[in-house]
Amino acid sequence: MTTTGHQRIFDAHAHLASGEGAADRLLEVMDSCGIDRAVVVAGGVVDPDLLSRQIIEGGSVDRDADNDGVRRACDRAGGRLVPFFFANPHRAGADYRAEGRHFRGLKLAPSVHGVPLTDRRHASLAALAEEYGHGVYLHCVHRPGFGVADLVTLARGFPRVTFVLGHAGVGDMDLYGIDLISPLPNVVLETSGGYSAVVRAALDRLGPARVLFGTEYPLQHPSVELAKYSSLGLTAGEWRRVAWENTSALLGGT
């Protein structure tokens, strides 16, 4: 990428691991990589081995994320960490309605909780996000009810809500997913985990205004995602949009 001096970087998707010192470790990694701010959600709802199995075979858990821990950590971070509420759709929106006003966005993980995007409970959560003025970050997987086409159907029903398709879509080469979301201006793409060729395609097909830099820390070290972008030769203006302005806009410009 072409840069002129330091350009601010806003990580659109990181997880706060459980345990003492997790926020401090995240901030240290951010400092080492030149990342100024990060959107964070709770980690540890399921361990990586179980999540890997559920992504492929299906399955579900009815577990709540440590949203309170995320909120407390963000309150202590001087604005550098921005909390998203990790909703459990098995609560039918009661958890998010009670606490959502204290957060800056909504995180959904259909493959964790086993509730398809076509389920009315996700529509109810999206309606609450619209009420709070929140963006919605979510993962899709290749199963009926959980795919990018199902996200598109959900997003069409809530045109005033910005949906973030995480991890560059399904798998690491989801060019089809990019084409599916292309007609919907309220769906943007966060690129952690995707191939650099997929990021390039997203920039070309969606435009830099609909692509967000994210890391998926701690499963992915931010330096890996930064190296991916460095290989693409973005202009300073393109990088500013992807690395800062788009995530800032998702949060209302702050």
E strands of 173-234, at which residues?
Answer: 187-190, 211-212
- At residue 12, the pLDDT reads 98
> What structural domains and CATH numbers belong to the chain?
10-250 (3.20.20.140)
Mean pLDDT by 10 residues, the chain (254 residues): 68 91 97 98 93 94 96 96 98 96 97 96 98 98 96 98 98 96 98 97 98 97 97 97 98 87
Report d(CA 211, CA 209) in Å as an integer. Answer: 6
- At residue 51, the pLDDT reads 93
Report d(CA 141, CA 73) in Å as an integer. Answer: 30
**Which pair of structure tokens corresponds to residue 239?**
């990088």
Count of other CB atoms within 10 angstroms of residue 89: 25
Report d(CA 3, CA 237) in Å as an integer. Answer: 9
Is the separation of the CB atoms in 109 and 45 below 8 Å? Answer: yes
- At residue 50, the pLDDT reads 94
